[in-house]
Structure 1
């Protein structure tokens, strides 16, 4: 086996961690059923499912296409998902390239469908750039990149973006079902107040943090970094199954040591092996930073939601940035 040491980081150890890195979950299909007499809403992944449930209330039936525990970057719809959506009234998807399957999916809808489709992230100023295709990108090079034709899809990870997306979801409900406009308004007002409070908590806590750099396994926190004055350094790119180069892993480990980083963040729906390997090499610890792309079955059983996961994220961010 070829061994090479740069600084105090062993190339073979990190390469081995990369080789055994795997994603969890693949290929499952949604289990929701349409309900006659209610507004049926199909969502592409958890954050939109959460917004739709909160705004729709008891008068709507919301079906999330991606089951608990499945990473959305690794999922594609089945024929029964297309059939369910075709018979619903509203389909909400994130857009910005998250759902690579969405164009073919929409083209596959039958001509007689009355489904209204809405891109929930349409009003959010996008972060451009595709680090998977970069050569020699620098640390923190995610917030103002301009790689034509590519955008960062992870809008919902910032409470500021979720406020914008919630308004888009509200308007889509009211357009499809104007008879219940007042109900949706009331539900939205309650949701907006909670999201605004979460935003204020992030602003207050992160502005006071003495350090501003976070090291993550997945480049999913660009909007969070942009909106709250942080710098994100990621092991992998916009998709959690992007393949990191060995020299990038070595460079990030050196960055961790040189900049006094205390924690490397990992997420629950993908393997933590790379984060653990870098943490061992750099003699630091790991913490969860959840991109809130979906709930695990355990989180679902415990009643966790976007708010509880984002509050846990803030707690871990504050701890790491001391």
Structure 2
């Protein structure tokens, strides 16, 4: 594992309170909301937040997403129609710095009832490699970054891949909906509790399933799994870091070949929303196999499951196979 440092952020309890306070302007019942059927209109920036809003909001909310299925969220461009959709929302749920186009659109929309998921948990900085504390950014290689800006000092936004952190966001957003629509607060609380319990069970599945493995190191094109690796005692080795479709340097490829041999790595992972070219190239050069490790930034036709839980369990199964789980 390689957690270079922990960025202090607002404590969870305070963040929940802030998230709830941010929604006081839409207090009242769902009947006062902006949709024709009296439901709260929630706009989520991309799939993990859409899923969370749907699970917690249930029948009392209408959830739209800015990132359609099959679209790589980091590359999202906001249309004028979507900007209008934002301005008509009762609640906007997004993760600041993950999608610069969304950040700008939210700022320009004039919506007052905004919840930033990044304030509901603690963000950390993860190195792109993770192997024995090597810092590839310091060696001229990209660390854990995309071609977009992260939060302060390069915070990793992929918190939903850690079920425990995703549960913290669920609690914060659930409290925010309770404040926004007190008439249905009991339902939101019930739905939140049920979702958190399911995430707790998923966390246990990962802990048990990855407890005893032949290797603790996995190689992936997209360095999105720092939180997951940290939670379950694994080492993430990102191929290129900046862009999952970018060609890594010859020096990085040579280093990964050495890592694969030393750490008994069997598999190079790629994701569903990006090309598998780099992963297959490394696998061919090292005699390894390839498989999918999905960062769950969207659900598409190639996804190994129809929702968050199904895809996460597919990820677990693929990790167990690659790491030689016993």
Same fold (TM over 0.5): yes
**Partner residue of 2:133?**
none
**Partner residue of 1:275?**
279
Task: Find the aligned partners of 2:246 and 2:152 in 1 and give their Cα distance.
Answer: 19
Q: CA deviation at 1:49?
A: 0.4
TM-score with structure 1 length normalisation? 0.80
Are residues 310 and 67 of structure 1, via their aligned partners in 2, closer, same or farther at CA, if it must alter by over 3 Å? same
**Partner residue of 1:57?**
58
**Partner residue of 1:211?**
215
**Partner residue of 1:313?**
315
Q: CA deviation at 1:238?
A: 5.3
**Partner residue of 1:101?**
101
2:259 aligned with 1:255: yes
Task: Find the aligned partners of 1:211 and 1:219 in 2 and give their Cα distance.
Answer: 18
Are residues 118 and 194 of structure 1, via their aligned partners in 2, closer, same or farther at CA, if it must alter by over 3 Å? same
Deviations 1:21-67 (Å, cap 9, x if unpaired)? xxxxxxxxxxxxx8321100000000000000000001210001101
Asked if the contact 1:73–1:239 (Cα under 8 Å) also holds between the matched residues in 2, the reply is no
TM-score with structure 2 length normalisation? 0.79
SS at match of 2:43: strand
2:86 aligned with 1:85: yes
Task: Find the aligned partners of 1:148 and 1:91 in 2 and give their Cα distance.
Answer: 22
**Partner residue of 2:204?**
200
**Partner residue of 2:124?**
127
SS at match of 2:115: strand
2:226 aligned with 1:222: yes
Residues 43-52 or 187-196, more deviating: 187-196
Deviations 1:231-290 (Å, cap 9, x if unpaired)? 000012255356632321222123212322111111110000110111111001011111
2:65 aligned with 1:68: no
Residue 191 of structure 1, aligned match among 183, 186, 195? 195
Are residues 239 and 92 of structure 1, via their aligned partners in 2, closer, same or farther at CA, if it must alter by over 3 Å? farther
Q: CA deviation at 1:106?
A: 2.5
1:140-179 equivalent positions in 2, closer than 5 A: 149-179=153-183
Task: Find the aligned partners of 1:290 and 1:79 in 2 and give their Cα distance.
Answer: 30
Residue 182 of structure 1, aligned match among 183, 186, 197? 186
CA RMSD of aligned residues (A): 2.5
2:285 aligned with 1:288: no
SS at match of 1:290: coil
Are residues 162 and 196 of structure 1, via their aligned partners in 2, closer, same or farther at CA, if it must alter by over 3 Å? same
Aligned length: 278
Asked if the contact 2:215–2:264 (Cα under 8 Å) also holds between the matched residues in 1, the reply is no
**Partner residue of 2:41?**
40
Asked if the contact 2:245–2:276 (Cα under 8 Å) also holds between the matched residues in 1, the reply is no
Asked if the contact 1:130–1:237 (Cα under 8 Å) also holds between the matched residues in 2, the reply is no
SS at match of 1:128: strand
Residue 139 of structure 2, aligned match among 122, 136, 141? 136
Are residues 148 and 176 of structure 1, via their aligned partners in 2, closer, same or farther at CA, if it must alter by over 3 Å? closer
Q: CA deviation at 1:82?
A: 1.1
Q: CA deviation at 1:176?
A: 1.5
Asked if the contact 1:129–1:148 (Cα under 8 Å) also holds between the matched residues in 2, the reply is no
Are residues 83 and 217 of structure 1, via their aligned partners in 2, closer, same or farther at CA, if it must alter by over 3 Å? same
Task: Find the aligned partners of 2:245 and 2:302 in 1 and give their Cα distance.
Answer: 23
Asked if the contact 1:158–1:223 (Cα under 8 Å) also holds between the matched residues in 2, the reply is yes
Asked if the contact 1:130–1:152 (Cα under 8 Å) also holds between the matched residues in 2, the reply is no
